[in-house]
Amino acid sequence: MLLFTIPFMIGISFFFIQATHPLSMGLLLLIQTVLIAISGGLLSHSFWISYIMFLIFLGAMLVLFIYVASLAANEQFNFNISQTSITVFLTLLLLITMFFLDPILSAETVKSETSSHWLSYLQNPLPSTTSSLYEIPSSQFTLFIISYLLLALIIIVKIMNVKSKPLRPY
């Protein structure tokens, strides 16, 4: 599965280079982030860290979306079909080349790899990446970070006066 996401990430990078509208760039960046989160989850035994990183990035993208929508509200979105078809063709060609030239992608290897992964997960259901955060040496630090972030959120909300300053000028 990881080897199938790599050509799509390369294709999204080609699309990003050719994109001219800020909202299409944001959408491509969001798709690229989803693919990176999937790849990170497949490399580790837990999707928890990649899921949290995706949610943090999504929050930042929402702020950028509001900012870009206020700046480029009336800009027309042009879609160039010839550049898009060339990029899709190159991505599919790269995927087919990786599939046929790489001996790792044979059906027997993929089948045995997935069965061994699920067997190891059943033997150790909680990977060490998430359980180490809540064990005795680092649990106090984790609790401190959670409390600090909650306190910072409350202070920032109290400082902000939304009624006096709008996000978008009218």
Structure tokens that stand for 84 in this block: 């898009």
* Domain-located, residue 149: no
Q: For residue 107, what are the domain limits? A: 2-136
| Residues in contact with 142: Cβ distance below 8 Å, sequence separation at least 6, in sequence order | 133, 134
User: 155 in a domain, yes or no?
Assistant: no
**What does the pLDDT read at residue 11?**
79
Residue 28 placed within a domain: yes
In-domain check, residue 51:
yes
Is residue 144 included in any domain, yes or no?
no
Q: Does 26 fall in a domain? A: yes
Q: How far apart are CA 11 and CA 90, in angstroms?
A: 8
* Residue 50: Cβ-neighbour burial (10 angstroms; 0-12, 13-18, 19+): buried
Above 70 in pLDDT, residue 9?
yes
pLDDT, one tens digit per residue, over 25-55 is 888 888 999 988 888 888 877 788 888 888 9
Is 168 a domain residue?
no
pTM over the 0.75 mark: no
> Which has the higher per-residue pLDDT, 18 or 126?
18
More confident residue, 29 or 124: 29
Name the one residue in this structure whose structure tokens are 């978008």.
168
Q: Is 151 among the domain residues?
A: no
Burial of 12 (0-12, 13-18, 19+ CB in 10 A): buried
What domain count does the chain have? 1
Q: Which two tokens stand for residue 115?
A: 């069965």
List pLDDT tens digits, range 48-86. 888 888 899 888 888 888 877 777 767 777 777 777 787
